[in-house]
Chain A
Amino acid sequence: MTTAELDVLLRGFGHERKDLTRILHKVQAAYGYIPAPAIRRVAEHLNTTANEVYGVLTFYKAFRLEPRGRHVITACQGTSCHVRGGADVFAEMKKELGIEPGGTTADRMFSLETVNCFGCCAIGPTVVVDSTYYSRVSVADVRSLIALYRKRK
Chain B
Amino acid sequence: MKPLTHPSQLAGWKARLLEERPAWRKTIVVSNGTCGRASGSLGIIEALGRELDRRGLKETVGLEITGCHGFCELEPNVVILPEGIYYGRLKPEDVPAIIEKTILKDNVVETLAYADPKTGRRYVLRKDIPFFRKQMRLLTEDNLRIDPDRIEDYILADGYQALAKVLFDMTAEEVIREVDLAGLRGRGGAGFPTGKKWQFCRSESADRRYIICNADEGNPGTYMDRSILAANPHSVIEGMVIGAYAMGAAEGYVYVRMEAPQAVRQVTLARDQARQHGFLGKSILGSEFHFDIHIVEGAGAFVCGEETSLMSSIEGRRAVSRQRPPFPAQAGLWGKPTNINNVETWANVPLIIKRGAEWYSQIGTSRSKGTKIFSLVGKIRHGGQVEVPMGITLREVIYDIGGGIKDGQKFKAVQTGGPAGGFLPAEFLDLAIDYDNLVQAGSTMGSGGMIVLDETTCMVDMARHYMHFTQEESCGKCVPCRVGTKQMHDILVGITRGEGKEEDLTRLEELGDSIRVASLCGLGQGAPNPVLSTLRHFRQEYVEHIQHKRCAAGVCKDLAPSSGEEAGPAGRRVKKNRHD
List A residues at the B interface (Cβ < 8 Å).
16-22, 24-25, 46, 55-56, 59-63, 77-80, 82-84, 87, 90-91, 115-124, 126, 131, 133-135
Bound together, the chains give a CA A87 to CA B315 distance in angstroms of 36
Most buried by B among A46, A83, A123: A83
Does the CB pair B299–A119 fall under 8 Å?
no
Bound together, the chains give a CA A84 to CA B35 distance in angstroms of 16
Q: A17-B316, A84-B379, A116-B473 are in contact. Are A121 and B223 (CB under 8 A)?
A: yes
Bound together, the chains give a CA A62 to CA B415 distance in angstroms of 28
A121 neighbours in B (Cβ, 8 Å): 72, 220-223, 375, 377-378, 383, 451
Does the CB pair B379–A119 fall under 8 Å?
no
B449 neighbours in A (Cβ, 8 Å): 79
Q: From residue 376 to 424 of chain B, which have CB atoms closer than 8 A to chain A?
A: 376-380, 383-384, 415
Whether B132 sits at the interface, judged by CB under 8 Å, is no
A79 neighbours in B (Cβ, 8 Å): 220-221, 378, 415, 449, 451, 462, 465-466
B38 neighbours in A (Cβ, 8 Å): 120, 123, 126, 133-135
Does the CB pair A77–B220 fall under 8 Å?
yes
A61 neighbours in B (Cβ, 8 Å): 299-301
Closest A residue to B258 by CB, please name it.
A62
Whether B319 sits at the interface, judged by CB under 8 Å, is yes
Closest A residue to B468 by CB, please name it.
A77
User: Shortest beta-carbon distance, A116 to chain B, in Å?
Assistant: 5
A133 neighbours in B (Cβ, 8 Å): 34, 37-38
Bound together, the chains give a CA A106 to CA B475 distance in angstroms of 32
Closest B residue to A121 by CB, please name it.
B377
Does the CB pair A60–B299 fall under 8 Å?
yes
Q: From residue 428 to 480 of chain B, which have CB atoms closer than 8 A to chain A?
A: 449, 451, 453, 457, 462, 465-466, 469, 472-473, 475
Q: From residue 508 to 527 of chain B, which have CB atoms closer than 8 A to chain A?
A: none
Contact of B453 among A55, A63, A83 (CB under 8 A): A83
B469 neighbours in A (Cβ, 8 Å): 77, 116
Bound together, the chains give a CA A87 to CA B458 distance in angstroms of 13
Contact of A117 among B221, B258, B384, B472 (CB under 8 A): B221
Contact of B296 among A21, A82, A119, A123 (CB under 8 A): A21
Bound together, the chains give a CA A20 to CA B318 distance in angstroms of 11
A82 neighbours in B (Cβ, 8 Å): 220, 465
Bound together, the chains give a CA A135 to CA B377 distance in angstroms of 14
12 pairs of residues in contact across A and B, judged by CB atoms under 8 Å: A62-B299, A63-B299, A79-B465, A83-B451, A91-B578, A118-B34, A121-B223, A121-B375, A121-B451, A122-B380, A123-B38, A133-B38
Q: A83-B379, A116-B302 are in contact. Are A25 and B473 (CB under 8 A)?
A: no
Closest B residue to A124 by CB, please name it.
B377
Whether B314 sits at the interface, judged by CB under 8 Å, is yes
Known contacts A22-B296, A56-B316; 9 additional CB pairs below 8 A are: A18-B316, A19-B316, A21-B316, A78-B220, A80-B220, A119-B223, A121-B377, A122-B376, A134-B38
Bound together, the chains give a CA A18 to CA B315 distance in angstroms of 4
User: Shortest beta-carbon distance, B334 to chain A, in Å?
Assistant: 9
Most buried by B among A24, A80, A91, A122: A122
Bound together, the chains give a CA A82 to CA B302 distance in angstroms of 18
B302 neighbours in A (Cβ, 8 Å): 116
Whether B226 sits at the interface, judged by CB under 8 Å, is yes
Most buried by A among B38, B223, B260, B318: B38
B465 neighbours in A (Cβ, 8 Å): 79, 82
Q: A59-B319, A78-B221, A79-B465 are in contact. Are A117 and B299 (CB under 8 A)?
A: no
Contact of B222 among A18, A21, A56, A117 (CB under 8 A): A117
Closest A residue to B219 by CB, please name it.
A117
Most buried by A among B37, B221, B384: B221
Task: State the 5 A-B residue pairs at the shortest beta-carbon distance, nearest first.
Answer: A122-B383, A119-B223, A61-B300, A133-B38, A60-B299
B121 neighbours in A (Cβ, 8 Å): none
Closest A residue to B320 by CB, please name it.
A59
A120 neighbours in B (Cβ, 8 Å): 34-35, 38, 72, 223
Does the CB pair A119–B301 fall under 8 Å?
no
Bound together, the chains give a CA A16 to CA B380 distance in angstroms of 48
Closest B residue to A114 by CB, please name it.
B472
User: Shortest beta-carbon distance, A81 to chain B, in Å?
Assistant: 8
Closest A residue to B230 by CB, please name it.
A119
A19 neighbours in B (Cβ, 8 Å): 316
Bound together, the chains give a CA A63 to CA B384 distance in angstroms of 31
Bound together, the chains give a CA A49 to CA B263 distance in angstroms of 33
Bound together, the chains give a CA A122 to CA B33 distance in angstroms of 13
B314 neighbours in A (Cβ, 8 Å): 18
Whether B259 sits at the interface, judged by CB under 8 Å, is yes
Bound together, the chains give a CA A123 to CA B36 distance in angstroms of 10
Bound together, the chains give a CA A31 to CA B12 distance in angstroms of 49
A77 neighbours in B (Cβ, 8 Å): 220, 469
A25 neighbours in B (Cβ, 8 Å): 258, 297, 299
B415 neighbours in A (Cβ, 8 Å): 79
User: Shortest beta-carbon distance, B321 to chain A, in Å?
Assistant: 13
Closest A residue to B226 by CB, please name it.
A119
Contact of A116 among B218, B258, B453 (CB under 8 A): B218
Does the CB pair B318–A21 fall under 8 Å?
no
Does the CB pair B451–A80 fall under 8 Å?
yes
User: Shortest beta-carbon distance, A114 to chain B, in Å?
Assistant: 10
B140 neighbours in A (Cβ, 8 Å): none
Contact of A56 among B34, B318, B375, B377 (CB under 8 A): B318
Bound together, the chains give a CA A56 to CA B578 distance in angstroms of 30
Convert B212-240 into 0s and 1s, putting 1 for each residue whose CB lies closer than 8 angstroms to a CB of A: 00000111111100110000000000000
B35 neighbours in A (Cβ, 8 Å): 120, 122-123, 135
Does the CB pair A21–B299 fall under 8 Å?
yes
Closest A residue to B453 by CB, please name it.
A83
B222 neighbours in A (Cβ, 8 Å): 117, 119, 121
Does the CB pair A80–B316 fall under 8 Å?
no
Bound together, the chains give a CA A22 to CA B264 distance in angstroms of 13
User: Shortest beta-carbon distance, A99 to chain B, in Å?
Assistant: 13
User: Shortest beta-carbon distance, B478 to chain A, in Å?
Assistant: 15
Closest B residue to A57 by CB, please name it.
B299
B316 neighbours in A (Cβ, 8 Å): 16-21, 46, 56
Does the CB pair A122–B377 fall under 8 Å?
yes
A115 neighbours in B (Cβ, 8 Å): 259, 300
Whether B73 sits at the interface, judged by CB under 8 Å, is yes
A134 neighbours in B (Cβ, 8 Å): 38
